[in-house]
Structure 1
Amino acid sequence: MPTIKKSVLLIGLGVLSVLAILLYFSFNPEKGLFFPKCPSYQYLGIYCSGCGSQRAIHDLLHFRFGEAISHNLLLIPALFVIVQHGLVKAKVLKTKSFLNYRYAPIIVLIIVLLFMFLRNLKMYPFEYLAP
């Protein structure tokens, strides 16, 4: 199996990212079409931590920050962490990635599970976390 150079892989990821951004900018996931539905909501009736993320990405690309937050409050901080991690890995930033700390995976897991639990509570103020 031939070895793929890192630069070719990065270019491929860049092209896929641009295509995904164009797709989410051009089409509203709320209208359905070809965007996948959340299996946990579709089959179990519960919101997962990612529910509303597709709509939130569409809203962010159109600078509708309030609507993006209402669809998925956790998406914006997650995007900051992912971008910061990518910039550190690409050696653009000379700092340590948040995700490289010892307890980062446990903390991320706790936040994601707690967010999922709270957004399914049908009481004030947690009902605002639902997409």
Structure 2
Amino acid sequence: MRGVNADSHSAAGPPAMPSLRGRLAVPVSVLGAVVGAFAYVGAVDPNQPGHYPVCPLYRLTGLYCPGCGGLRSAHAFIHGDFLAALRDNAMGVLAYAGFAVVWTVWVMRAVRGRPVRIELRPAQMWSLGVLLLVFTVVRNLPLGGWLHP
């Protein structure tokens, strides 16, 4: 082998860890996108007609999906009206809090150079699905009127 050093094929040890800036690039970018989306919804009021499309499920059936009222909830949340945010979409508010927790764990692990592995077990996934299904069914029943957006 011409021009190849015999030592070049030996193991050089573990791969170098990316810099802190490199490890934080993706979580910071995701946060930037979320902040941008919330800023837009905070500036363009979803309570005013014509700014956002109507939920297709609601338009076709009159039923509220788990996301119905989510934009109004985000708008109220941005403006500090947390009770209105909960009234418009309680699951949305839980999702905002869940995102904040997961994002914080992601950043802390990235700072420490540890991989982020969020692995939901089947029971956890089923539980989340059942929670969303129950929320959707209850908000469409007469007794769940307080969950309507």
Q: Secondary structure at the match of 1:30?
A: coil
- What are the within-5 Å matches in structure 2 for residues 90-101 of structure 1? 90-91=107-108, 100-101=120-121
Q: Secondary structure at the match of 1:28?
A: coil
Q: Secondary structure at the match of 2:108?
A: coil
Q: Separation in 2 of the partners of 1:75 and 1:97?
A: 23
1:28, distance to aligned residue in structure 2 (A): 0.7
Percent identity reads 23
Please identify the structure whose Cα radius of gyration is greater: 2
Q: Secondary structure at the match of 1:31?
A: coil
1:13, distance to aligned residue in structure 2 (A): 2.8
Q: Deviations over 1:45-102 (max 9, x none)?
A: 10011110100100011111111111112222222122212222223599x9886455
Q: For structure 2, list consecutive stretches of 5 or more residues without a partner in the other structure.
A: 1-21
- Picking from 96, 101, 115, the partner of 2:135 is 115
Q: Separation in 2 of the partners of 1:26 and 1:53?
A: 15
Q: For structure 1, list consecutive stretches of 5 or more residues without a partner in the other structure.
A: none
- Picking from 36, 41, 44, the partner of 1:27 is 44
- Picking from 50, 61, 68, the partner of 2:85 is 68
Contact conserved, 2:27 with 2:103, CA < 8 A, in 1?
A: no
Distance 1:89 1:129, change over 3 A: same
Q: TM-score, normalised by structure 2?
A: 0.70
Q: TM-score, normalised by structure 1?
A: 0.78
Distance 1:11 1:87, change over 3 A: closer
Distance 1:98 1:69, change over 3 A: farther
Q: Separation in 2 of the partners of 1:85 and 1:36?
A: 29
Aligned length: 124
Q: Separation in 2 of the partners of 1:104 and 1:41?
A: 28
Match of 2:126 in 1: 106
Q: Separation in 2 of the partners of 1:68 and 1:109?
A: 22
1:127, distance to aligned residue in structure 2 (A): 1.2
- Picking from 36, 42, 53, the partner of 2:59 is 42
1:10, distance to aligned residue in structure 2 (A): 4.0
Distance 1:102 1:84, change over 3 A: farther
**Residue type at the aligned position of 1:120:** N
